Amino acid sequence: MTDPVTWAGTAGAKYGPTIAGLAIGTAAKYGLAINEGRPLTWRGVLADLLLLGILGLIAVAISEFAAHLTHTPVGTDFRVLIGSLAAVSSDRLVRLARDRFVERVGAKLAVEPERHP
């Protein structure tokens, strides 16, 4: 008899709410753009689709950090909320992550002396 819990089911249970949140947040972002009168372009939609991967990683990292910090499991609704907020604020979130990464790498390179093989 096979095990009823497969790796796909486990991954779906863990990451499904985040993916649903990203879809809801992306739809909300486009709704806001339409409401404000901004035109949707294929280039902008493609850029948002390409950003969804990194946004998913950021949303999962935030929810896992929250679970570690509170010592409690993070509920499905919380994962959906984090994914939605990550998608709605995708431009600012990716820019912030990129800037922090560049700052840390720059600081690390400034501290370490040059090494030549």
Spell out the domain ranges in the chain.
Answer: 10-110
DSSP 36: T
Confidence of residue 103 (pLDDT cuts 50, 70, 90): very high
> What pLDDT, on a 0 to 100 scale, did the predictor assign at position 1?
47
Amino acid identity at 48: D
Digit-coded pLDDT (tens) for 22-40: 999 999 999 999 999 999 9
**At residue 13, does pLDDT exceed 90?**
no
- Cα 88 from Cα 83, distance rounded (Å): 9
- Cα 2 from Cα 52, distance rounded (Å): 34
Digit-coded pLDDT (tens) for 52-98: 888 888 888 888 898 889 888 888 888 898 889 888 888 888 889 89
CA angle 70, 21, 15 (to 5 degrees): 65
Of 108, 80, 86, the C-alpha closest to 21 is: 80
Query: How is residue 33 written in tokens?
Result: 């753009």
Total-model pTM:
0.74
